[in-house]
Amino acid sequence: MGKIISFQKLSESHMERIYKAAPEMELIVADESDVWKSHLSDAEVIIGWHSLIAEHIIQPETKLRWIQNWGAGVNHFPFDRLAKSGIVLTNTSGVHAFPIAETIFAMVLSFTRKLNTSIRNQINQVWKSETADEIHGKTISIIGVGAIGKETAKIAKAFGMTVWGVSYSGRPVANVDKIVKRNGLEEALKESDFIVMTVPLTDETRHMIGEKEFAVMKPSAMYINIGRGQTTDEKALAAALQSGGIAGAGLDVFEQEPLPADSPLWKMDNVIVSPHHAGATVQYDERAVEIFLRNLEDFIAGREPSVNRVDLAKQY
């Protein structure tokens, strides 16, 4: 009997669906009892991730064939070891598209309509009216046009915005007016009123946005990062915000998390800080289970899981 070990807490209904889909496999949900450790060597499928897995199970003779990550980010996985052992890695990319796109526009509208200032004034019981801007007719650049980028572009068009996209392939994308590869990044930044960073963290995207990139942005530009903190040089960002190089930033991810108490970003009036929860939604687990079950169907049929399969060479 094959074994599935889940390091992700599953509801009774979700476990029942897995039992029904794979009646000949044993499902072990890891808890604080550590009973799951005795099953590691027999696990063919892992849901989620645990630091002990790499040490104890990713070996040449391992029975492990597939890992289903419960998030989109996979930068913490040992790609080389997975590739050498022939282990398939899939993620839940796409389950975040709605909540993260909504968070992006919550930040965009908060800055543009000065809601962030109004909230601060309310706390201090200050009655102060200010003239706000509009996003209709503005230009937004989306760096990384995967599921989140596509949903963001769709919403942007509803506001009558001009949409630029920066992608690895440069292929046309629905609702994106102009798509460029990375060599067109500077042009996109120069044109944009809002820059949205959604790319995963890889060797190529680490500090993709830094001093040089902030220098070409409009002084009125708003920078939003909901991808991975390490894709942005945080010191360069803070300097651009303090000097007036850009107007503001909405940040859900940071180079170090939690954000250190001494970070200047905490006290900047032109920054919105959220604790890496843009993708959090009550719908998350249901959508993630759907992806897992589709892959599980392939696995049981003797096929390699293909939904959201991670390219181990590209690291996303």
**Looking at the annotation, which residues are catalytic?**
228, 257, 276
CA distances from 17 to 22, 138, 187 (A): 9, 46, 49
Could you tell me which residues come within 8 angstroms of residue 277 by beta carbon, excluding any fewer than 6 positions away? Answer: 252
Long-range contacts of residues 77-84, Cβ cutoff 8 Å, at least 24 apart = 77/49, 77/310, 78/54, 79/312, 79/313, 79/315, 80/312, 81/54, 82/58, 82/312, 83/312, 83/313, 84/60
CB atoms within 10 A of CB 238: 16
Backbone angles phi, psi at 123, to 5 degrees: -60, -40
Backbone angles phi, psi at 272, to 5 degrees: -105, 125
Sign of CA dihedral 211, 214, 219, 222: negative
Question: Please, is 311 exposed, middle or buried when counting C-beta atoms within 10 Å of its C-beta (0-12, 13-18, 19+)?
Answer: exposed
Query: 4-26 burial, b if ≥16 CB within 10 A, otherwise e?
Result: bbbbbebeeebeebbeeebeebe
Question: Please, is 204 exposed, middle or buried when counting C-beta atoms within 10 Å of its C-beta (0-12, 13-18, 19+)?
Answer: middle
Sign of CA dihedral 280, 282, 285, 290: negative
